[in-house]
Structure 1
Amino acid sequence: MNHLAGHKNIVSIRGTFEDKNFIHIVMELCSGGELFDRIAEAGHFSERRAAEVMRTIVSVVHHCHTMNVVHRDLKPENFLLTERGPGGIIKATDFGLSRFFKDGSSLDEIVGSPFYVAPEVLKRTYGKEADIWSCGIILYILLCGWPPFHGDSTQAIFKSILSAPLDLKSEPWPRISPDAKDCVRRMLARDPRKRLTAEQVLNHHWMRENGAAPDEAFVPEILIRMRQFTKMNLLKREALKVIARSLPPMELAGMQEMFHDMDEDGSRTITVDELREGLRRKGAEIALSEVQRILNDIDLDGNSKIDYEEFLASTMHLNKLSREENMMAAFEYFDKDKSGFITRDELVSAMRGIDQGVDVDVLLGQVDKNGDGRIDYEEFCMMMRASDLDVLKTAHEALKTKVVLRNVVNNVQMEPVREDSSFDMTQVEATGVVRVMPASTSQRGRAAADS
């Protein structure tokens, strides 16, 4: 779930604690109950309200998919509300069955909750498209109040999912708009290759018209993080590389999948063409000039490519900076003599391998708040946790000061400063592979995609 941080409709983790018996995960309070309860109370939703809810759910799924995560257990019970009443915000939770994936690869484990399982999951060959099927089931329920494929046993439900026709003729479907039915039908295409993607669902005319779709284009989280990284000063960028280097493998799994997904030739580097194509696959159509600028700013060693450590630094979520051990590890990397300060000489040494025209004095001026010519731990933490706006303002002031000093120096004439296997029901029933998740799991702090 930390890997997915940054989306307002995913429940956030406040902290983790461990005793000799348990690991405790403290999560954002959602006191409004489950979305399932709202559906049960209402019976079914109006088209406009259903579209609003689905926009939120599918935007979460889109975010997951752009971050190479498939949820695999989407259902109304796994969406909570922050409060009761109309102001409650929907939050996705329970990522216990989620997995990282690579585009083009497939999963084979039968998991999920019976009513919401996609047919290809039962055939043991599936990918992220299975999440869209589950979303289609949720939309169907929102519009009419019951699932499209049902039965009086798990076996009967699965047989219905695999072969029963989609009923869009019984009540209340004659009173539901053709556009809404088109959206449902295309989300529940049995062939996953013909099923809408998350982005296509969000852009479906019914969803846009009824869901108050925003005018601005969707920006994938990976691009947001990369753009954020390029605005940081070089010390902060280099420090993030140090932090990325020290993270445990479990926390790197999601970013590792994204890196391998973009690194098409397996060279362990990403070229400008691979970066542009990788971002395009995640829904970001941006000019080659911006892709080149982003690559140049991430490419700290100047080899015209993004290596693995540079990619990790530029795409990891900044919630990693809330951990004291990460901050201390980064500070100690620069403080070579363990004096408790990063001196100008240590800064020069650290920046030596960076091919970006580093001006160490300007960099030092941005971070050294008390003007003693060195960076203490408190100043380092302030710099690392500062917003982009704070960093830009500080850099601007430091640059203005340097220009004034240079003018003074030049005026006194001193030296200038240089700058499908088939579905086997008996096998499933014999092995108990299918996991029917009880509603109460939506309130457990499960975070298998924690990275």
Structure 2
Amino acid sequence: MGNCCAPAKLEHVDELKPRDLIGTSIRDSKTFTLNPADFIQIKTRPITKDYLLGEVLGRGSFGEVCIATHLLTNSKRAVKIIYLNESNTKEVDKLTREVSILKALDHPNIIRVYDVYKSQSKICIVTELCTGGELFDRIQKMKKFGENQAAKYMLDMVSAVMHCHDQDIIHRDLKPENLLFENEDQNAKLKLIDFGTSRFVTPEKKLNKAIGTCYYMAPEILTTSYNKQVDVWSLGVILYIMLSGTVPFPGKNDQEIYSKIKGAPLSFGQQAWQGVSEEAKILLRKMLDKNPNTRFTIEQVFNDNWLQSRGMAKVPDRQLEVSSLQNLTSFRTHSRLQTAIYTFIVSQILDNSHFDKLREVFTNIDKNGDGFLSMDEIHKAIDSFEFRVNPENIFKQCDTDKNGFINYSEFLTATVNQQQAYSKGNLKNAFKNFDKNDDGKIDLQELKESLGTSQSDSIVRKMLDEADTNKDGMIDFEEFVQHMSRYSQEITENA
């Protein structure tokens, strides 16, 4: 899993925000907005109430990473555990910052966080489990990749980093060890992990602390202040390694490596570069430009002809794309509670097996690769299939955080197979999660706690009233299912 880390005190996890934490700034007592991050809260109960901890994947000086089974859904997830003591306050800070940043990100190539637990002795971060190993492992096994494969992987990385940069997040430690494959399949998706050294940074602000892994550090990190451009350099190093099996600036020790990064010219003279196209080398020269002001931006990298032609994801099956767009254009929720429950199921209960093909559709619509679907991108997608739908109506239903874009999770919520996703089994699991004291009913306090701090008391009261047909001030499971089935008329019995 790599590091799931971050700084700021854990109690202040919600303070840092990108793009106004995707909608939180416009929330008021009369406005209902919702983001999947709302469901990621700090829980003080023992993690063993919700997870069965299993095989340890790795241990470090301050904690460990293990596989865990989610008791509610029986799905496998990864848990990073940091044990609290006076000697590891920096690790705790890193973990806290990482949670803040991961809550802000919503992208098919960025690790998904599910839960956060804190006790007097430890902090636990639960994320999706990636079983395909590190990109580093595949590089060691393959020695080097062909141009098409390297470009495909790089396009995944660039899109993830562009999503970060678009929200003023700089990663600062991009390397093959921090890129995991979702599974062992040859065409598995890459997931960017380890945001412990990441920062929110505005365009006018620069950072000056030297941080990262020496082979992948940009020259300006070693000499002066720096900005997001250091991530482009790191990606350039990764691409160089994938295409040649060697690092661009080798050395016997850190000082020799740093010296070459700052002063040595980029070389393609080794035998490993025979047969590699000039177009690939041109892109590398742009990414590994020692001057950050003339170095390619992440957007320029994404739009590079070699990267697009060699790495473009396969076009989704036409029928799948049609059905996905049909779901998107017809998606309706009849209440704020339905919106919240659907969002919860997609972001907290369903695993990636439900989304494999939908990710291809999302990526195909997301022409600029930033991980957000704009009004223009949606308009072009529905026009290409001659759907006669006003995109503004789609946004009214699907843009639940009101940030002016359709985020990845919002897209999945609208396009996922409704009968499978919103089955009675999944509704039951959602109900159990909201029913904190397990008494078979959801009261006002439980609903508010489940939604986090983003909703006002008046909105939460209205949400409860929407489903509380017998007006006893609580929602029982029968009322819950009845209310939810107003949209999905055929709730299947299977989980």
**If the length of structure 2 is used for normalisation, what is the TM-score?**
0.51
Residues 68 and 391 of structure 1: is their aligned pair in 2 closer, same or farther, counting only changes over 3 Å? farther
Q: Say if 1:30 and 1:83, in contact at 8 Å, map to a contact too.
A: yes
Partner Cα distance (1:114, 1:280) in 2 = 28
Q: Say if 1:115 and 1:149, in contact at 8 Å, map to a contact too.
A: yes
Partner-residue secondary structure (3-state), 2:103: coil
- CA-CA distance at 1:70 after TM superposition: 0.8
Count of equivalent residues: 307
Which one scores higher on RCO, CA 8 angstroms, separation ≥ 6?
1
1:42-441 equivalences in 2 (<5 Å): 42-213=142-313, 235=336, 324=434, 325-327=449-451, 330=455, 332-334=457-459, 342=465, 376=475
Tell me the equivalent position of 1:32.
Answer: 132
Partner-residue secondary structure (3-state), 2:148: helix
- CA-CA distance at 1:66 after TM superposition: 1.5
Partner Cα distance (1:122, 1:203) in 2 = 29
Partner-residue secondary structure (3-state), 1:156: helix
Partner-residue secondary structure (3-state), 1:97: coil
Unpaired runs of 5+ residues, structure 1, are 217-226, 241-278, 299-308, 343-363, 395-451
Residues 383 and 33 of structure 1: is their aligned pair in 2 closer, same or farther, counting only changes over 3 Å? farther
- CA-CA distance at 1:170 after TM superposition: 2.3
Partner Cα distance (1:174, 1:185) in 2 = 17
Q: What is the CA deviation profile of residues 301-323 of structure 1, one whole-angstrom value per residue up to 9, with x for unaligned ones?
A: xxxxxxxx97699989779xx88
- CA-CA distance at 1:22 after TM superposition: 1.0
- CA-CA distance at 1:154 after TM superposition: 1.0
Q: Say if 1:236 and 1:383, in contact at 8 Å, map to a contact too.
A: no
- CA-CA distance at 1:42 after TM superposition: 1.1
Partner Cα distance (1:50, 1:62) in 2 = 18
Residues 132 and 22 of structure 1: is their aligned pair in 2 closer, same or farther, counting only changes over 3 Å? same
Partner Cα distance (2:404, 2:479) in 1 = 21
- CA-CA distance at 1:23 after TM superposition: 0.5
Residues 382 and 315 of structure 1: is their aligned pair in 2 closer, same or farther, counting only changes over 3 Å? farther
Partner Cα distance (1:42, 1:381) in 2 = 52
Tell me the equivalent position of 2:62.
Answer: none
Q: Say if 2:372 and 2:407, in contact at 8 Å, map to a contact too.
A: no
- CA-CA distance at 1:193 after TM superposition: 1.9
Tell me the equivalent position of 1:276.
Answer: none
- CA-CA distance at 1:286 after TM superposition: 5.5
- CA-CA distance at 1:31 after TM superposition: 2.2
Give the RMSD, CA atoms, in angstroms.
4.7
- CA-CA distance at 1:159 after TM superposition: 1.1
Partner Cα distance (1:20, 1:374) in 2 = 35
Q: What is the CA deviation profile of residues 51-97 of structure 1, one whole-angstrom value per residue up to 9, with x for unaligned ones?
A: 11111111111111112211100000111123334253321111111
Given residue 179 of structure 2, which amino acid in structure 1 is its aligned partner? F
Tell me the equivalent position of 2:10.
Answer: none
Partner Cα distance (1:165, 1:210) in 2 = 26
Q: Say if 1:3 and 1:317, in contact at 8 Å, map to a contact too.
A: no
Give 1 or 2: higher strand fraction.
Answer: 2
Residues 312 and 88 of structure 1: is their aligned pair in 2 closer, same or farther, counting only changes over 3 Å? closer
- CA-CA distance at 1:371 after TM superposition: 8.7
Residues 391 and 107 of structure 1: is their aligned pair in 2 closer, same or farther, counting only changes over 3 Å? farther
Say which one has the larger Rg. Answer: 1
Tell me the equivalent position of 1:423.
Answer: none
Partner-residue secondary structure (3-state), 2:242: helix
Partner Cα distance (2:470, 2:217) in 1 = 61
Partner Cα distance (1:185, 1:195) in 2 = 9
Q: Is 1:21 the equivalent of 2:121?
A: yes
Residues 235 and 46 of structure 1: is their aligned pair in 2 closer, same or farther, counting only changes over 3 Å? closer
Tell me the equivalent position of 1:244.
Answer: none
Partner Cα distance (1:8, 1:280) in 2 = 11
Given residue 103 of structure 1, which amino acid in structure 2 is its aligned partner? P
Q: Say if 2:210 and 2:221, in contact at 8 Å, map to a contact too.
A: yes
Given residue 221 of structure 2, which amino acid in structure 1 is its aligned partner? V
Q: What is the CA deviation profile of residues 153-185 of structure 1, one whole-angstrom value per residue up to 9, with x for unaligned ones?
A: 111111111110000222222321011111111
Partner Cα distance (2:159, 2:225) in 1 = 24
Residue identity over aligned pairs, in percent, reads 31
Residues 232 and 138 of structure 1: is their aligned pair in 2 closer, same or farther, counting only changes over 3 Å? same
- CA-CA distance at 1:205 after TM superposition: 1.1
Given residue 104 of structure 1, which amino acid in structure 2 is its aligned partner? E
Partner Cα distance (2:269, 2:230) in 1 = 25
